[in-house]
Chain A
Amino acid sequence: MLKTRIIPCLDVADGRVVKGVNFVDLVDAGDPVEAAKAYDAAGADELCFLDIHATHENRGTMYDLVQRTAEQCYIPLTVGGGVRTREDVRALLLAGADKVSFNSAAVANPDVVAEAADHFGSQCIVCAIDAKTIETDDNGVGTRWGIFTHGGRKAALDADGNPIDAVEFARTVVAKGAGEILLTSMDRDGTRAGFNLPLTRAIADAVDVPVIASGGVGTLQHLVEGVTEGHASAVLAASIFHFGDFTIREAKEYMAAAGIPMRLEYA
């Protein structure tokens, strides 16, 4: 049986982890490679590096990091942030990334997803979607979500100046060949209030590729809800693991106890 994945995400800027990883046994908590090794040993199912200040000048730093990580970690690595072209995808795959994530560039031009997927295969093309609630029902429950780009600062608009619908956009990029959706709720990101479950479920049910839920995890029960109520195939979290609130093992055992199939043996 396929297991639900837990994916710790490291925000990286200029080759360093932003918000250091708070593991006691790390020599250099700011070194993404050290943190990645620790998560590999701890039983993470995949890793994600997000280059939060991706600029042309610092790409070389990211390639070097990815290369050094791939030499020491034997679990899949997804890299995102500032990926604009098919050539960017190729450079990251050659450095050792297993999957590469488009975000703003896919909103500006969804065909870039098709170009990359046709060339490298859908299995390595992720589309990151940052979504924010734009309509709610009478109970305040979200019913429609818009796309945001540039780290959630900019609302994406279509040619007529209307918000781009997140569910429609997810369908579009999957039709173009995205093999996975990394969905972040801008309403919840950083709040520790739990995933935006109506959003997660709306997108997971709309596409036939796996959806990774992201944004808002504060407790282990939130991880469970992302799967059982949000229908996500994987859950991504940063702070709860980086700050040592919970270990990967605790998270997996909690989810397994809730009846979710998890990979518990590893080393």
Chain B
Amino acid sequence: MLTAIIDYESGNLHSAEKAFQRMAREVGGGTVVVTADADVVARADRVVLPGDGAFPACSAALRGHSGLFDALVEAVETRGRPFLGICVGMQLMATWGREYEDTEGLDWIGGEVVRITPFDPALKVPHMGWNDLVIDHPHPVLDGIETGDHAYFVHSYQMRVTNPDERLAHVDYGGEVTAIIGRGTMLGTQFHPEKSQQTGLRLIGNFLRWRP
């Protein structure tokens, strides 16, 4: 059982690597590697796409890595390997990114990524810190995670999901902000599970055991 965390030079992968490796040990989840190797991604049993920074830059970096993008699409779309996108890695699952410019996403979950605009102008953007989840739809990877549990967010853009069934959880920040999305074998979290203490570690452990 091999989980590949894709390294396309976007952000801090050390924390994610350590959190996934710890939970893989705890739940018997096999081996976790951070890799930029398309062959490893193509044959991985599970794929994790992290991402920090701007949507267009992350999208360009992912598509610019030789073979990596094709390997990701093959593993997730063609072979149906369980997939977890984190932060901008989740946003890239959308149809469109509207940050700075219109950028095509993977279109795995219908929707667009738009700037957070809280109703209350006193609320700061980025939305940074711990917010409590509201679970919209139960999901095996959310087992043991309940409405009211906190997760750590840091982002200025959020995904508006076209089909409400595909938004699994949200938080309140001067309006509803998408927290978790999912469809079939694909899942994404706007927050950082590797930085969300027990709630995040539980989600990671559930993902590593998930057999959709």
Q: Interface on A for B, CB 8 Å cutoff?
A: 1-5, 40, 45, 67, 70-71, 74-76, 93-98, 119-124, 179-180, 208-210, 233-234, 263, 265-267
Count B-side interface residues using an 8 Å CB cutoff: 40
Contact A95 B14 (CB under 8 A): yes
Q: How far in angstroms is the closest Cβ of chain A from B68?
A: 19
Contact B131 A3 (CB under 8 A): yes
Contact B52 A2 (CB under 8 A): no
Contact B53 A120 (CB under 8 A): yes
Given contacts A2-B128, A180-B128, 14 further A-B contacts (CB under 8 A): A3-B132, A71-B18, A74-B19, A76-B192, A93-B11, A97-B12, A120-B11, A122-B156, A123-B126, A124-B154, A209-B125, A210-B128, A233-B124, A263-B150
Chain B residue numbers with a CB within 8 Å of A98 are 12, 15, 154, 192, 195
- Partner of A266 from the list B13, B153, B197 (CB cut-off 8 Å) is B197
Chain B residue numbers with a CB within 8 Å of A97 are 12
- Complex: A89 Cα to B131 Cα, angstroms: 27
Chain A residue numbers with a CB within 8 Å of B125 are 208-209
Interface of B: prevailing SS: mixed
| B209 contacts the other chain (CB 8 A) | no
Q: How far in angstroms is the closest Cβ of chain A from B150?
A: 5
| B45 contacts the other chain (CB 8 A) | no
Chain A residue numbers with a CB within 8 Å of B112 are none
Of chain A, the residue at the smallest CB distance from B53 is: A121
Q: Interface on B for A, CB 8 Å cutoff?
A: 11-15, 18-19, 52-54, 88, 123-132, 148-150, 152-156, 171-173, 192, 194-198, 200-201
- Partner of B131 from the list A2, A74, A233, A267 (CB cut-off 8 Å) is A2
Chain B residue numbers with a CB within 8 Å of A40 are 197
Of chain B, the residue at the smallest CB distance from A76 is: B195
Contact B124 A210 (CB under 8 A): yes
Contact A94 B14 (CB under 8 A): yes
Of chain A, the residue at the smallest CB distance from B124 is: A210
- Partner of B124 from the list A70, A120, A208 (CB cut-off 8 Å) is A208
Q: How far in angstroms is the closest Cβ of chain A from B20?
A: 12
Contact A45 B12 (CB under 8 A): no
